[in-house]
A and B are shown apart, each in its own frame.
Chain A
Amino acid sequence: MGMAADSQFHVLAVDDSLIDRKLIERLLKTSSYQVTTVDSGSKALEFLGLYEDDQTNPDSPSVSPNNQQEVEVNLIITDYCMPGMTGYDLLRKIKESSSLKNIPVVIMSSENVPSRINRCLEQGAEEFFLKPVRLSDLNRLRPHIIKTKSKDQNQEKTRTHEEEEASQKLEMSSTKIQKLESSEVKQEQQELVHHQLQLQQSQPPNSNKRKTMEEGLSPDRTRPRYSGITTVV
């Protein structure tokens, strides 16, 4: 189980498959996230308060998504292959929206297609998960959420203070994150090790199909590793 702080992180999961929605919901809840699931990109945008014909409000004072809807969304995880609006289309719309572009987006796909993966990462997706998604994949979400939350807080303050003061605040929150992270990471690592041990005990050495073997893409490309200490920019 995650720390109390996790219960306030809200993930929006988008997938047209009923089974996959149920699965991702369960995975996320087990990882102590609040979850909302929708079955299409357009429903996702509706939920986020961004309508197809909506013009972004130039008077909007903050980049926080809080402006547009009641519940804050800290991360969006979406399937790639969906009828109508694909996950990529959704990603683009989010990154083009001044109010939503700071929300980290993760893409899921059952197909390991390097060009697809690159396209998504270049468009601003934080991660690309191969389906079926595992609990261990979700452990990689937290750094993205924490990085963004602190970035939002800092950007709000920068609007009203001098550059110098802003960078001071940056340092302070960076330290806070490191403290928060190190105890969380420890727990995560324990859980991860436990999980890996369980798997290792009963599986043959080469059965890890999560590695991108077929396409010859190096794992580093699709799965950026984070050391657990997030740098706040």
Chain B
Amino acid sequence: MDRNQLRRQVAHMRSSLIEQHYLDQQQFVQLEDLEDDSNPNFVEEIVTLFYKDSSRLFQKIDQALHSVPMDFARLDDYVHQFKGSSSSIGAIKVKNECTQFKEFCLAGNAEGCLRAFQRVKHEHEALKRQLETYFQLRRQAGMAQRS
């Protein structure tokens, strides 16, 4: 497959990720715009940081969820942090699940929090898989510059 075809595939996948609301168009396009010759992998780097950070926060959230009584204030704090990071990389679905999660924290709803965390993790995983494919495609297409 030639480079142009690969690039079209990449563009197509990007549009699809945006249409399905995995990614926020404005934010994600902004991130890609910040790449240049001296920083060709910025998006992948920041997304990788996001995964590292999310796994750290997930552990903390897990602990807080299993504290007796459930520590809603701490939970809210962690989810707030995670929501912020999600928003920064344009991860809409993940961010929206965080918003729901925060509401359960504020309401002191333990059941709700447990379910919300499952949904957050689910969306997080789904996005991760999509982005892995996306970055692989980009690498194949030799894409490391602004359009």
Kindly list chain A residues whose C-beta atoms are within 8 Å of the C-beta of B25. Answer: 202-203, 207
* Residue in B26, B27, B81 whose beta carbon sits within 8 Å of that of A17 in the complex: B81
Q: How many residues of B contact A (CB 8 A)?
A: 26
Q: Take A199-B26, A202-B25 as given contacts and tell me if A131 and B49 are in contact as well, using a CB distance cutoff of 8 Å.
A: no
Within 8 A of B (CB), among A131-177: 131-132, 134-135
Chain B contacts of A26 at CB under 8 A?
34, 39, 42, 46
A→B interface (CB under 8 Å): 17-20, 22-23, 26-27, 30, 81, 110, 131-132, 134-135, 198-199, 202-203, 207
Query: A23 is contacted by which of B26, B52, B88 (Cβ under 8 Å)?
Result: B88
Given contacts A17-B85, A19-B50, A132-B87, contact A207 B34 (CB under 8 A): no
C-alpha spacing A19/B89, complex, angstroms: 8
Please give the distance in Å from A76's CB to the nearest CB on chain B.
Answer: 20
The smallest C-beta distance from B125 to any residue of chain A, in angstroms, reads 18
- Do B83 and A110 touch across chains, with their CB atoms under 8 A apart? yes
A131–B26 touching, CB < 8 Å: no
Q: How far is the CA of A110 from the CA of B88 in the complex (A)?
A: 9
Distance in angstroms between the alpha carbons of A183 and B85 in the assembled complex: 36
- Report the separation of the CA atoms of residues A106 and B45 in the bound assembly, to the nearest whole angstrom: 26
| Set B30, B53, B89: member contacting A135, Cβ < 8 A | B30
Judge whether B84 is part of the interface by a CB distance below 8 angstroms. yes
* Contact residues in A for B30 (Cβ distance below 8 Å): 132, 134-135
A26, A30, A81, A198: residue with the most chain B Cβ atoms closer than 10 Å: A26
Chain B nearest CB: distance from A78 CB in Å?
Answer: 14
Tell me, yes or no, whether B132 is within 8 Å of chain A by CB. no
> A110-B83, A202-B25 known; A20 and B34 CB under 8 Å?
no
Question: Nearest chain B CB to A1's CB is how many angstroms away?
Answer: 10
B62 beta carbon closer than 8 Å to chain A: no
- The answer on a CB contact under 8 Å between B87 and A131 is yes
A-B contact pairs, 25 of them (CB 8 A): A17-B81, A18-B49, A18-B53, A19-B53, A19-B84, A19-B85, A19-B89, A20-B84, A22-B45, A23-B46, A23-B88, A26-B39, A27-B34, A30-B34, A110-B87, A131-B87, A132-B27, A132-B90, A134-B30, A199-B26, A202-B25, A202-B29, A203-B25, A207-B25, A207-B26
Give the chain B neighbours of A20 by CB distance below 8 A. 84-85, 88
